[in-house]
Structure 1
Amino acid sequence: MSLEKFHGIIPAFYACYDDEGNISEARTHALCDYLEDKKVQGVYVGGSSGECIYQSLDERKAVLSYVADRLKGKMTLIAHVGAPSTRDSIELAKHAAALGYDALSAIPPIYFKLPDSAVYKYWSAIIDATPLDFIIYNIPQTTGYTLTTSLFDKLLMNKKVIGVKNSSMPTMDIERFKKVGGNDCIVFNGPDEQYVAGRLMGADAGIGGTYGAMPELFLQANTFVKQGNFEEAKHIQSDINDIIVALCSQQGSMYAVIKEVLNRRGVHIGSVRSPLEGITEEDQTSIGGIVTMIDQAVTRYCK
């Protein structure tokens, strides 16, 4: 099976709210159009950047529908369907399958500390619920669960499991998962701060939460890596990291800051949902500087 459609730069799709904080179809479509115009390879819908933990099941289903309405057949669509219960995850999975998504993905169960046997059953239940391919999501810093290579190997016995979105920080994890999975498995680099390093350690592609703020830079970083131009890849990663540090150094949450960056690009997708914090008046001045940093880096690398 060819995994080519999963290669490239795949932004994690942001939650799009109206001025009252409700899911907005129009603003979701606006973000779809923006990312399509940037020529990214796909979108990862309903994950951390989509604020899935703070949305109802019906809201999450609506977002999946709005994105599919706009982008199905135009780029690769991956639906994150991880939810607090197996039942809700299966419902989201079936909804995404009916909409024509290319693949499913899910974090492990959260809150309760569960053994590998329970995590295996959870992921397997989602996998078995639809004909779609499945991508494991490993993000131990937020879920408290670390995917082991032994469980990964066991899950790969199911042919619908095509890879892992690895957001743990050690790049060694990417190398280990790629060694277990081999060429028939796709490993996505998760931490944006180490995109280039992750690719050099074996990641085939990237899914990231800051890609939407600066898609041109990640697309160019991907080009440098594919060309073997590692010196320029190192330089662009350094500039990306300067921007990420700035995005994370404001009083508002990183996602609120990113949404204001997009707002200044003419893409209005609202703020964030509580308990995430929105931007402050003090952040407004700094965000202007972040926009300038992105513009200057785009000018420098993306000619």
Structure 2
Amino acid sequence: MNFEWKGIFPAVTTKFTANDELDFEAFDVNLEAQIEAGVDGIILGGSLGEASTLLQDEKDALLKHVKEASNGRVPVLMNVAESSTKLAVEAALRARDNGADGLMLLPPMRYTSDDRETVTFLREVASATELPIILYNNPADYKIWISPDMFRQLEDLPTIQAVKESTRDISNVTRMKNAFGDRFAVLTGVDTLGMESLLMGADGWVAGLVCAFPKETVAIYRLIKAGKIAEALEIYRWFLPVLELDVSTKLVQNIKLAESLTGIGNETVRAPRLPLIGEERERVLSILNNALERRPELPEYLNLEKELV
């Protein structure tokens, strides 16, 4: 499937049953909500998708199921986060063979590779498949920064097409645009910098709270791109306290709790994660319930697609 690196790409949660098996029925409810809201792609098996706890067979089954359920309506991407080059290449090829339309690729996990090692790793994985790739640049969590100089060394690879910009430094949107123009699409990966990054020229948003609030997230993107900044800002200001739940070690639990309250998910996580309890859960519930009580009425945004600039 041909697609553009523009718009809203949910890094979706992985749904589990009480017996710790994949819950495809619950996943389908959320998937339909995302597609109905107008998202531009689906990313499976990311950090929010509890990738580190998924068995390879489960990743295969999830990808095959989502490809069938989405039925060509949106591109489906698989995350590749492995500890060795060999495993990453195998994961990329397996995703391709199972129907993935693209990949999100992280630098090596566990071992903190230096610049030369990181570039070599990314080159070898990107050279092993024809699938389009978005690199996940998140030094805050994964301790490896893919610098503009490193992107320069990857510029000749046609499969590396975009970056999920999660450095927390909003100036990097401008740095990438200044250095490379449109060679690499830039999608913000930090929910609390979503609108700010789009206003600075980001092409899209790999979002987390979209899992629970898909319409609001897509509306912000499309309103901004249509030049309706004041309308987007009103929604974003309402949304920010909720978006801050994404910048947390408990982002999975926070967002799954949000999904349960909006009726498109459940709180079930896979160990070692455990659902929120006590004061921590009450604090998150207070934020979410306050937002739901004041949930804004959205302007018509789906028909803005043809107006995007």
TM-score of the superposed pair, with normalisation by structure 2: 0.87
Distance change in 2, residues 1:245/1:159 (3 Å): closer
Task: Give the aligned partner of residue 62 of structure 1.
Answer: 61
Q: Per-residue CA shift, 1:66-89, capped at 9, x if unaligned?
A: 221211411022211121222222
Cα drift, residue 92 of structure 1:
1.9
Distance 2:58 2:264 in 1: 21
Distance 1:220 1:8 in 2: 10
**Gap regions ≥5 residues in structure 1:** none
How do residues 199-218 of structure 1 correspond to structure 2 at under 5 angstroms? 199-218=198-217
Distance 2:238 2:79 in 1: 29
Q: Per-residue CA shift, 1:137-196, capped at 9, x if unaligned?
A: 101111101111011111121111111111110101111122223123211011111111
Cα drift, residue 291 of structure 1:
4.2
Distance 1:294 1:95 in 2: 40
Could you tell me which amino acid in structure 1 is paired with residue 136 of structure 2? Y
Q: What secondary structure sits across from 2:77 in the alignment?
A: strand
Task: Give the aligned partner of residue 254 of structure 1.
Answer: 251
Distance change in 2, residues 1:243/1:111 (3 Å): same
Distance 2:189 2:293 in 1: 24
Q: Per-residue CA shift, 1:195-245, capped at 9, x if unaligned?
A: 111112221011011111211111111122112222333332222212223
Kindly report the root-mean-square deviation, in angstroms, between the aligned alpha carbons of the 2 structures: 2.5
Distance 2:140 2:204 in 1: 21
Distance 2:156 2:246 in 1: 40
Distance 1:128 1:292 in 2: 48
Could you tell me which amino acid in structure 1 is paired with residue 264 of structure 2? V
Distance change in 2, residues 1:121/1:200 (3 Å): same
Answer with 106-115 or 187-196: which moved more. 106-115
Distance 2:124 2:61 in 1: 23
Could you tell me which amino acid in structure 1 is paired with residue 243 of structure 2? I
Contact kept, 8 Å, 2:37 with 2:218, in 1: the verdict is no
Task: Give the aligned partner of residue 277 of structure 2.
Answer: 280
Distance 2:119 2:244 in 1: 35
Distance 1:217 1:31 in 2: 15
Q: Per-residue CA shift, 1:89-125, capped at 9, x if unaligned?
A: 2222112212332211211112222111111121122
Contact kept, 8 Å, 1:81 with 1:93, in 2: the verdict is yes
**Gap regions ≥5 residues in structure 2:** 302-309
Task: Give the aligned partner of residue 153 of structure 1.
Answer: 152
Instruction: Name the count of aligned residue pairs.
Output: 300
Residue 276 (structure 2) pairs with residue 297 (structure 1):
no
Cα drift, residue 8 of structure 1:
1.0
Distance change in 2, residues 1:213/1:265 (3 Å): closer
Task: Give the aligned partner of residue 130 of structure 1.
Answer: 129
Answer with 228-237 or 284-293: which moved more. 284-293
Cα drift, residue 302 of structure 1:
6.1
Task: Give the aligned partner of residue 225 of structure 1.
Answer: 224
